[in-house]
Structure 1
Amino acid sequence: MRFVKQGLVYAAAVMSLMAASGAHAEESVSVRLRWVTQTQFAGVYVALEKGFYKQAGLDVKINPGGPNISTETLVGSGADTFAVSGATDAILFAREKKLPIVAIGMTLQTTPYAFVSHQASTIKSVKDFSGKTVSAWFTGSQYQLFTALGNEGVDQKSVSIVSQPFSMQPFIDGKYDVSTVTMYNELLVLKDKNVPVNIFRADAYGVRVQDNAIITSEKMIKEKPEVVQAFLNATLRGWKYAIQNQPEAVDIVMKNGSGLNKSHQTNMLAAYAQLMQAAQGKTKGLGWVDLEAATITNANLLKYQALKSSIDVAPAFTNQFWDKVPAEYKLP
């Protein structure tokens, strides 16, 4: 009996030491993706697979998105803790709706959108869009089209702008003269199908928009800033690893998805990584939030009457957590 008591005393002492050393349960959080599983979100899947979230004290659940899922609404309501959301304009639209979300990081340092025409057509520049049928996703990308047209002196009324489906087949079949693509997805689809196109990158026509924001709620920032910091640290660490180890990152994503084409996912990650390191990505680092670009986007949205009134950029975008991310996690 004496030995049993000694054992119990020893166990109690060990538990006491663990408590004193700060050992505690991992914080359970969720991250909502803006679309279904693909290498567009490789950094998040890598951070989970490699244990980066766990090492940061987080128990992370990844929730996939889709066409009818609003990441901004889910985070703003508290249904999800974090999300990989839309572009700068999506954050501004959400703030106009009084959703208390904040962009703590921007995955893509420049807009991924471009416009394409068939290579054999007479459309060789944005100026040639006049009198043509141009398709765009009416989820915010149409304002990047409006900006490009305006910067080139093209009257928006001279262009027939129509809603674009989530398929490039209508463009391939000649239904539209010009269509919108992302550099990391739809453009690759056209290349895979051997459809030769002229490419007009939105950023080459004065569009300064970041995309795929990493967002959380004002409540999380106020009540659990250490959790927000830990999540951003681990996520950018996951992205750096994914960029440096792309074949492994593709395998990790493939394991978590279904019906994915490995070749397409490989090419997607390569293109996505380039956009992450574009513009200020090489010098500032992965995930940097361009506050000046947010101000410019706000002005453009007002110009095209997409916003009813100007949005205060300061509460909607912040680098307060990005500034504290260890340099080895954010410098590629």
Structure 2
Amino acid sequence: MKPDQSSKLKPVSTRIKWSAYAAYIGTYAARDWGIWEELGLDVTVREGGPQVDTTAPVADGTDQFGITGGDQLLVARSKGRPVVAIAAIMQETPAGFVVHADSDIHSMKDFPGHRLCVIPGHNTEIQYRAVMARLGIDTDTIEEVVHFPELELFLARKVDIEPIYVNNQGTIVRAKGVASRTFIPSEYGVRSYGNVYFTTEKMIEEQPELVQRFTDGLLQGWKGAREQPERAMDSLFKYDRDLDRDLEFDKLRDTWPLVEEKHGRIGWMERERWVEISEALKAANLIRPDQDTDAAFDARFVTTHYDSANS
């Protein structure tokens, strides 16, 4: 549904998890190509960062929408933030852990006795703690080093294990020619959705039509980026001209396997996956044992988008 183009655009903002890069290319396409504007929305895209919990500004009304990990969203709800997932762009989390190829670490079971870089509150930390709990490993046996600059300590060999996104820092490590091994939490039975778009319970209750328009534009933007990656990359570079275009295309190529269109539909969410994520976090004492998983997501907006497109 497209509103009268003469009507005033509704200003809203969405907060990405990090600075601009290829993992958010569909968001920038939706903004730059006028897709949201055609749906009556003037969307401002705000950046996050390693120390920014995007659920906070959405919960307090600073932003209307945001991006986080499925695991992070459940942790935020455990803290009382009434945030609700409306679309999961990545069917798998990009979180991983990299070690140098000559390391004696050949599995996440080998983490004890080594130095691990930790970003507090980041979903790499959540994934790390969930995997260690599943493996029965006491994290006191691992030296945790809190550090934010990307890859600095790892490349200098001052930490043994670096948390990464496989489609960002993982891509950079490969581009630098650093021989390495990467461990993925799903290989140890811990999975999560990545790049989950969310809003608040209040927004869904009071303005569901606005949430639908935002979701429609978002999914159109991601579909467009999939079909026209060069044009979408041009849109991304309007927001950060200092990016390396070849590197960003490498990151984009590493992003698409995570997106993995479920049933041919970008953004799809299923209850079974949310329960799986929730149970892993409960087992690791990262969220409340009585937490209501069903309240954490609302799949109707993605479902309505595709139902309307096929009707």
Whether the TM-score (by the shorter chain) exceeds 0.5 is yes
Q: 1:244 aligns with which of 210, 219, 227?
A: 227
Query: What is the rounded CA distance, in whole Å, between the counterparts of 2:224 and 2:308 in structure 1?
Result: 11
Query: What is the rounded CA distance, in whole Å, between the counterparts of 1:205 and 1:294 in structure 2?
Result: 17
- Alignment partner of 1:141: what SS? helix
1:94-109 → structure 2 map (5 Å cutoff): 94-109=76-91
Structure 2 letter corresponding to 1:194? G
1:270 corresponding residue in structure 2 = 253
Deviation for aligned residue 1:307: 2.6
Q: 1:125 aligns with which of 107, 117, 136?
A: 107
Answer with 241-250 or 122-131: which moved more: 122-131
Alignment partner of 1:82 is 2:65: yes
Q: 1:322 aligns with which of 293, 298, 302?
A: 302
The alignment's C-alpha RMSD in Å is: 2.4
2:291 corresponding residue in structure 1 = 311
Deviation for aligned residue 1:61: 1.9
Query: What is the rounded CA distance, in whole Å, between the counterparts of 2:78 and 2:131 in structure 1?
Result: 24
User: Runs of 5+ in structure 2 lacking a partner?
Assistant: none
1:182-221 → structure 2 map (5 Å cutoff): 182-221=165-204
The 1:153–1:289 alpha-carbon spacing in structure 2 relative to 1, beyond 3 Å, is same
Instruction: Encode CA deviations 1:45-93: one digit per residue, 9 max, x unaligned.
Output: 1012222112222222222223443321221122212112x21222122
Structure 2 letter corresponding to 1:136? V
- Alignment partner of 1:321: what SS? helix
Query: What is the rounded CA distance, in whole Å, between the counterparts of 1:145 and 1:69 in structure 2?
Result: 19
Instruction: Encode CA deviations 1:120-159: one digit per residue, 9 max, x unaligned.
Output: 2222222322322222322232231233334445444433
Query: What is the rounded CA distance, in whole Å, between the counterparts of 2:98 and 2:91 in structure 1?
Result: 21
2:119 corresponding residue in structure 1 = 137
The 1:145–1:268 alpha-carbon spacing in structure 2 relative to 1, beyond 3 Å, is same
The 1:297–1:130 alpha-carbon spacing in structure 2 relative to 1, beyond 3 Å, is same
Query: What is the rounded CA distance, in whole Å, between the counterparts of 1:30 and 1:142 in structure 2?
Result: 27
Query: What is the rounded CA distance, in whole Å, between the counterparts of 2:303 and 2:102 in structure 1?
Result: 48
Deviation for aligned residue 1:234: 0.9
The 1:124–1:97 alpha-carbon spacing in structure 2 relative to 1, beyond 3 Å, is closer
Larger radius of gyration: 1
Query: What is the rounded CA distance, in whole Å, between the counterparts of 2:5 and 2:177 in structure 1?
Result: 58
Answer with 141-150 or 315-324: which moved more: 141-150
8 Å contact from structure 1 (residues 143, 304) kept in 2 = no
Deviation for aligned residue 1:237: 0.8
Structure 1 letter corresponding to 2:284? Y
Alignment partner of 1:291 is 2:271: yes
Deviation for aligned residue 1:118: 1.0
User: Runs of 5+ in structure 1 lacking a partner?
Assistant: 1-18
Instruction: Encode CA deviations 1:197-251: one digit per residue, 9 max, x unaligned.
Output: 0121222221111122111122221122111111101101101111222122111
Identity %: 29
Tell me the TM-score normalised to structure 1 length.
0.84
Query: What is the rounded CA distance, in whole Å, between the counterparts of 2:309 and 2:230 in structure 1?
Result: 19
Query: What is the rounded CA distance, in whole Å, between the counterparts of 2:50 and 2:66 in structure 1?
Result: 15
- Alignment partner of 2:7: what SS? coil
